[in-house]
A and B are shown apart, each in its own frame.
Chain A
């Protein structure tokens, strides 16, 4: 059985790191509890730009593969092993959810799209509340 798309990265990250990322997300939301609608909207736009873990892994994988292919062509054919191994791990990540760069990225704090979406969901709720407050203040 293949793991669920939305949870396969968390499943293969140790609990401590998952918890750390989650508490960071909660802190982020907490900071906007009393914020104005403009501030919240700015944060939402920031979230739109945040690189999720899939995007980071794809870019990293492509760069490693290209480097290996170039070295294989120009330096020594043994270098072709590098893109082969990287492809194997990328495939493993797609199917199972783990690959060697993943633990590093998770420790740096790179989030999954569903973790980012959770922050966005809570911020949108805060935005609605902030707009409500503003309406009441305006009378």
Chain B
């Protein structure tokens, strides 16, 4: 079975980190519930810049593959298996949302784009509300 794209936190293994991230997101949303326009817009800009888990994996994995290739050329061809392992893991991440570093990244509080979008939606709702108040 291929995992759903939005199901970035699906398996129970990550449930605790996922729950913590969700609590943090809810807290952020609460914090901006009555904020003024400037504060909301500033927060939206921060969210746009936030590195999601895909971007982290897309930076880490090729670095590991290049490291394996480099060591393979310099220190012994067996190092190429590091690159192969990393490639298989990226394949798993793309199709199954399974990745060896994912639990650690989640514990560090790195969110998925879908989770960031939840917070963004709440902020956009707040902007709509402010528009209506002005109108």
Contact = CB atoms under 8 A, between A and B. Distances in A.
Interface of A: 4-7, 47-52, 54-59, 61-63, 65-66, 69, 72-73, 80, 83-84, 86-88, 90-91, 93-95, 112-114, 116-117, 120-121
Contacts of A55: 5, 54, 94
Contacts of A62: 87-88, 90-91, 93-94
Given A4-B49, A6-B113, A48-B6, A66 B88 contact: yes
Interface string B107-129: 00000111011001100100000
A113 B117 contact: yes
Contact of B72 (A80, A86, A114, A116): A80
Contacts of B54: 54-55, 58, 113
Interface residues of B, number: 43
A69 B80 contact: yes
B36 interface: no
B91 to A, nearest CB: 4
B55 to A, nearest CB: 5
B66 A87 contact: yes
Q: Which label, helix, strand, loop or mixed, suits the secondary structure of the A interface? A: helix
Contacts of A51: 5
Contact of A49 (B4, B56, B72): B4
Given A7-B48, A47-B6, A87 B62 contact: yes
Interface in B1-57: 4-7, 45, 47-52, 54-57
Contact of A117 (B50, B59, B93, B113): B113
Contact of B93 (A58, A84, A121): A58
